[in-house]
Structure 1
Amino acid sequence: MVSALGMTAVLGGCGLTGDSGEVTLKLVAADYGDSKANSSQDYWDDLAKAYEAKHPDVHVDVTVYSWNDVDRKVREMVEAEEAPDMAQIGAYADYADQGLLYQAGELLSIPVQANYVSQLAGAGQVDGAQYGLPFAASTRVLFYNKTLFDKAGLTPPKSWDDLAEAAQELEAEGVKYPYALPLGPEEAPAETMQWMLSGGGGYTDDVGTYSVDSPQNVTTFTWLKEELVEKGLTGPVAPGQLDRAAAFAAFANGDVGMLNGHPTLMKMASDKGVKYGMVTTPGIDGASKNTLGVTDWMTAFKENGHQEEIGDFLDFVYNDENVLDFSRRYNLLPVTTSASQAMSTAEEDKDLRPFLNELVLSELYPVGKTSWASVSADVKKRIGQAVAPGGSTEEVLDRIQTTAMRAGSAE
């Protein structure tokens, strides 16, 4: 489990079209809200107004798009040579590789740059230089339906074997989705990586080389196929056809015993009256030692030349008050160390602490690789076949690995 604020309309500043000294920064952001009432547009409009009150010569023009559209919109703007000053989007490496982005050190004050959570800052780097500025983060834990577990006399699972046994008991009780396994196109890379990590694998090895077809990953997906899918414990929809949104909705309707989830699911379940618990994702021999971390990115484009103004605005964006406000509005994790520390002790944030605790153990997608977009797309296309009855797990992982190596060779 971002935001987009439009482009920089230059209103006669910086010697471009006049002498007024005024600059308009265009920011394109992704929408984290699930309705018009909590759209991210409101957050950014309030933030821009507060900044402009202290900086009357700088205007911030914000455009927010849905997550389905924002990356495409920014790409089209860049291709038309109308890049925004800033874009809060899902990926940055392609733009960095093309030399289109400012580095963090060219924009931010030293205290702000040094305040990012270390794993997130590291994931924003290409060849040792940081181009992706973490904006919002989340991790994954295992959610379980307390009512269904109590009815079946179950305790939360700690290992894969525990999870399989619980799924069997839930299936015997008539639960529709004993374990929901969303490997459909919407968010297949996340569920895939969560399971890879729980089996001691991942998309890459310790030196950053793609290892999709590693023995650990083959073992993980073979287990999923044989112990859950083929035994009918993943519900009526084939995992390769089940999207994350549908799985979350089914959990909120009381039809799912267990699934991996991020903080958004808490509110969805509570709003529907579902009593849930959360535990560390089960691993092959006990609780998983690693979990998936996901972050969205703020990027700053060079095209309009507003380096100083962008940097000053982003310093404002990343102060604790604003970081915490955004995180609390959308049940996301802060990307700065100081805001994380504040959240870890605040009573109002106690529901987010399980996710906050997982952040220090998290591993992120290999987003610093320009090849990741191709690999992610191939995972979305193929990974469901790795657990499909009658298919070859090893062959599917081999094909994704081939895609990864071909895409990676061009980097």
Structure 2
Amino acid sequence: MPKRLLAAAMAALLAVAGCGGSEGSSDPNTLRLWHYEGPDSAMGVAWAEAIRQFEASHPGVKVEFEEKGFEQIQKTASMVLNSRDAPDVLEYNKGNATTGLLSRQGLLTDLSDEVAARGWDRALGPGLATTARYDDRGVMGSGKWYGVPNYAEYVLVYYNKTMFDQQGLAAPRTLEDLTAALRKFAAAGITPVALAGAEYPAAQLLYQLALTKADRAWVDRFQRYTGEVNFHDEAWVFGAETFAEWLREGYLPRDSAGAKAEDMGLSFLQGRSPVMISGSWWFGRVKAQVKDFEWATAPWPGMTSGSSGNLWVVPKGSKNKRLAYDFIDITMSPAVQDKLRDAGGIAVVPGAAPAADPRTRQLNDDFTALDDADRLAFYPDWPAPGFYDAQVSSVQKLITGQLGPHEVLTELADYYRENTASVGK
């Protein structure tokens, strides 16, 4: 490896480890915890309560918490978890290309016995367990438990109800409703959809558009390798061509290729964009911060990105696994799960009483309806290691005009084929 690349890799490793290369704590009275939830998010609020309860129930034990960036962990998890600086428990993204890959690399603890002993499998049920179990190939849906889902999530439509009312628009319940609303905003000189091309939102939107023409068999072929995947079929072509059309029509910001997810979120939170198509992970922050306009949510029409939320995983090198299991157990308690739900999240083990806030109730009810109707389609980057970066790059080229929609699909198809060819072999 050239020296400059070796230096960059080591810098990235040390930045994520957050300890300048020193060995991680082996103090039996310290639980080292990493997660990437902001303090105002539903999960951040719930995990702060879990830390409080954990320390109260474990006298003399302290939680050494470090907040990490999603991108940090996404890019360097394999290096960090293969070092002596691995934490005892961390939040990690679910899917074949993430948790599945780490399980196949031998970097995660098999939690199957603990899951059975503590009843987490019975609490979660088979639908939410899909993303927690991985076979020897690292393919989700069966095999050993390598993670524990701690919330649920899905992609939906956030809309500025005040701006919709000003334009005489109703809630966008169908793709036709949504497209008509975007057309009206654009005609009024307003770029309606907040977007970010430098991170997940833009690639996720292209997938969302494709999902309006997809069914469960299509998703299983793409995500679980149950059959041949054609990136130039009706669904993928509709997704890419509609994305390009929305750019041409001014529904999407043409300068969004370099924007990050935070930029997208602020555009909606500050009332500059009337629509944000993104995950339920934004809900708690929208609920807490939006004061100057009325807002609402609507389910994405058709199938949608979604699943259980991210996972608690325990690195193979965790020095305090028993404490890690105890912490996970607290996060799964109805008291903490209701705290998560009431802060705007989607609980996986809720208490008996429903949420008092009507928008929070709708968020959770809409997820239940999607789950019951088998309309959750996971996320577009899951099938192949590194597919996240490949998708971000390809969709950026679509935004900037470097590639057309069919060229983007060809680029995605080539990456998918090359990086899933060895799965199961």
TM-score > 0.5, shorter chain as reference: yes
Matched, 1:196 2:210: yes
**TM-score scaled to structure 1, two decimals?**
0.78
Counterpart of 2:268 in structure 1 is 251
Which amino acid is the alignment partner of residue 295 of structure 1?
G
Counterpart of 2:176 in structure 1 is 161
Counterpart of 1:215 in structure 2 is 234
CA contact (8 A) 2:206 2:239 kept: no
**In the aligned structure 2, how far is the partner of 1:304 from the partner of 1:145?**
45
Counterpart of 1:48 in structure 2 is 54
Matched, 1:65 2:68: yes
Matched, 1:96 2:103: yes
CA contact (8 A) 2:50 2:331 kept: no
Counterpart of 2:389 in structure 1 is 377
| Distance 1:296-1:213 versus aligned 2 partners, 3 A rule | farther
Matched, 1:145 2:163: no
Instruction: Give the deviation of 1:144 after TM superposition.
Output: 2.0
Counterpart of 1:10 in structure 2 is 26
Which amino acid is the alignment partner of residue 83 of structure 2?
A
Q: Superposition pairs for residues 215-294 of structure 1, below 5 Å?
A: 215-226=234-245, 228-235=246-253, 237-263=254-280, 264-265=282-283, 267-268=285-286, 271-281=290-300, 287-293=301-307
Counterpart of 2:309 in 1: which secondary structure?
strand
Matched, 1:357 2:366: yes
**In the aligned structure 2, how far is the partner of 1:34 from the partner of 1:311?**
25
CA contact (8 A) 1:139 1:293 kept: yes
Q: Deviations over 1:216-253 (max 9, x none)?
A: 11122212322x22122224x34534433222222222
**In the aligned structure 2, how far is the partner of 1:231 from the partner of 1:93?**
39
CA contact (8 A) 2:196 2:261 kept: yes
CA contact (8 A) 1:385 1:393 kept: no
Counterpart of 2:410 in 1: which secondary structure?
helix
Q: CA RMSD in A?
A: 3.5
| Distance 1:193-1:49 versus aligned 2 partners, 3 A rule | same
**In the aligned structure 2, how far is the partner of 1:181 from the partner of 1:77?**
31
Counterpart of 1:354 in 2: which secondary structure?
helix
CA contact (8 A) 2:195 2:202 kept: no
Q: Deviations over 1:121-171 (max 9, x none)?
A: 201221122212212332222122222222222222333333222222112
**In the aligned structure 1, how far is the partner of 2:392 from the partner of 2:134?**
24
The number of equivalent residue pairs is 379
Deviates further, 302-311 or 118-127: 302-311
Counterpart of 1:27 in structure 2 is 33
Which amino acid is the alignment partner of residue 67 of structure 1?
F
Q: Deviations over 1:327-359 (max 9, x none)?
A: 444x2212x2x31x646x231474253254225
CA contact (8 A) 1:294 1:365 kept: no
| Distance 1:318-1:111 versus aligned 2 partners, 3 A rule | same
**In the aligned structure 2, how far is the partner of 1:207 from the partner of 1:252?**
33
Counterpart of 1:107 in 2: which secondary structure?
helix
In the alignment, which of 316, 339, 348 is matched to residue 302 of structure 1?
316
Which amino acid is the alignment partner of residue 233 of structure 1?
Y
CA contact (8 A) 1:4 1:88 kept: no
Counterpart of 2:12 in structure 1 is none
Counterpart of 1:19 in structure 2 is none
CA contact (8 A) 2:209 2:242 kept: no
Counterpart of 1:410 in 2: which secondary structure?
coil
Counterpart of 2:221 in 1: which secondary structure?
coil
The percent of aligned pairs where both chains have the same amino acid is 16
CA contact (8 A) 1:188 1:383 kept: yes
Q: Deviations over 1:345-393 (max 9, x none)?
A: 2314742532542251422227775x2x411110011113346557421
| Distance 1:313-1:156 versus aligned 2 partners, 3 A rule | closer
Deviates further, 242-251 or 64-73: 64-73
In the alignment, which of 381, 400, 406 is matched to residue 412 of structure 2?
400
**In the aligned structure 1, how far is the partner of 2:208 from the partner of 2:121?**
29
In the alignment, which of 351, 355, 369 is matched to residue 346 of structure 1?
355
In the alignment, which of 316, 324, 329 is matched to residue 330 of structure 2?
316
**In the aligned structure 2, how far is the partner of 1:64 from the partner of 1:180?**
26
In the alignment, which of 326, 332, 335 is matched to residue 345 of structure 2?
332
**In the aligned structure 2, how far is the partner of 1:383 from the partner of 1:368?**
16
**TM-score scaled to structure 2, two decimals?**
0.76
| Distance 1:240-1:120 versus aligned 2 partners, 3 A rule | farther
**In the aligned structure 2, how far is the partner of 1:8 from the partner of 1:256?**
44
| Distance 1:193-1:123 versus aligned 2 partners, 3 A rule | farther
